[in-house]
Amino acid sequence: MTEIQKIEGSNLLKLYQGKQVLSCSLTLERDNITSIIGHNACGKSTLLRILSLLEKPDQGKVKIHGPRKIGRNPFSNFSLRKKITLVPAKAALLKDTVFNNIAYALQLRGYKKDRIPQQVEELLSTFDLEDKVQSSANKLSTGEAQRVALAKALALQPEALLLDEPTASQDPNHTRLVEGILLRWKQQTGRMLVIVTHDSSQAHNFSDRIIFMHEGRILENRSTEDFFNCPSTEQAKAFIHDRIH
Ligand SMILES: Nc1ncnc2c1ncn2[C@@H]1O[C@H](COP(=O)(O)OP(=O)(O)OP(=O)(O)O)[C@@H](O)[C@H]1O
Ligand SMILES: [Mg+2]
């Protein structure tokens, strides 16, 4: 049974070298597809790492909510951390074949050995990577490596999937392919899906919730329709205006 219903960050504060880069509170809901948007360096990736339990905030708390009680101190709860997958903007793959990268993820999730090869091939062909199965992961193009990282994330069967600019290195056809795969995953699993994107039309078409960040703060957190039709802050108005005109 799916457990993670919400990821809640309260009074999160993060400083790097004494400079505050994040100060915000928010709740991510399982039922939404959420896009986090905002200019370079406004704190999107930092926020995503903290909500994925990969990096601790300097102050504030992350709480994971599920139907059953989920213990305190999620950062030291490794079985909980395994349920949340973050795919960073720069794909981090094992220095091994593409096949082994995916097979390893399936193995971690308890797939039977004899089922793994077929499963790997199916997943890779969904991502238009069927001719790269035996390639070295470190010899792939940037776009191919990003698609392998996404395939690997799906192989991990996370309860919450957080993707940092998942189509930033994809051409238009592969962007549509990846969006379609993610939407199908969302429909089939009903699990939490969050993306960071610089593509406003993607945020508009793909997600039903928008979190707009500016200088480490969340200025807007509302439905996609409301955000694009009637942004309430000057910064969001300017952000939308710059991208449409
Ligand atoms: N590990 C780190 N050490 C020092 N500073 C960092 C570190 N990670 C991020 N920063 C700084 O924190 C700020 C926010 O960075 P972050 O990567 O979260 O921004 P972002 O919104 O994801 O930007 P982009 O759209 O360019 O990816 C930036 O000024 C960045 O230089
Ligand atoms: Mg970033």
How would DSSP label each residue in the chain?
Answer: -----EEEEEEEEEEETTEEEEEEEEEEETT-EEEEE-STTSSHHHHHHHHTTSS--SEEEEEEE-SS---S-GGG-HHHHTTEEEE-SS----SSBHHHHHHHHHHHTT--GGGHHHHHHHHHHHTT-GGGTTSBGGGS-HHHHHHHHHHHHHHT--SEEEEESTTTT--HHHHHHHHHHHHHHHHHH--EEEEE-S-HHHHHHH-SEEEEEETTEEEEEEEHHHHHHS--SHHHHHHHHHHH-
Q: Above pLDDT 90, what percent of the chain? A: 91
Atom nearest to 89 CA in ligand 1? 27
For ligand 2, the distance from its centroid to the CA atom of residue 228, given in whole angstroms, is 22
The confidence score (pLDDT) of residue 241 equals 85
Confidence band (pLDDT; 50, 70, 90) for 43? very high
Confidence band (pLDDT; 50, 70, 90) for 1? very low
The confidence score (pLDDT) of residue 2 equals 56
Q: Is the dihedral of CA 123, 129, 132, 138 positive or negative?
A: negative
Q: Which CATH architecture has domain 6-244?
A: 3-Layer(aba) Sandwich (3.40)
Residue to substitute in 21, 198, 235 for testing ligand 1 pocket (most ligand atoms within 8 angstroms of CB):
21
Checking if the pLDDT of 102 tops 60, the result is yes
The confidence score (pLDDT) of residue 182 equals 98
For ligand 2, the distance from its centroid to the CA atom of residue 1, given in whole angstroms, is 32
For ligand 1, atom 6: residue with the closest CA:
16
Which of 91-105, 150-164, 187-201, 231-245 has the weakest average pLDDT? 231-245
- pTM confidence score: 0.96
Confidence band (pLDDT; 50, 70, 90) for 72? confident
Ligand nearest to the backbone CA of 23: 1
Q: Which residues contact 221 (CB under 8 A, 6 or more apart)?
A: 26, 209, 210, 211, 212
Atom nearest to 43 CA in ligand 1? 18
Average pLDDT, the chain: 95
For ligand 1, atom 5: residue with the closest CA:
16
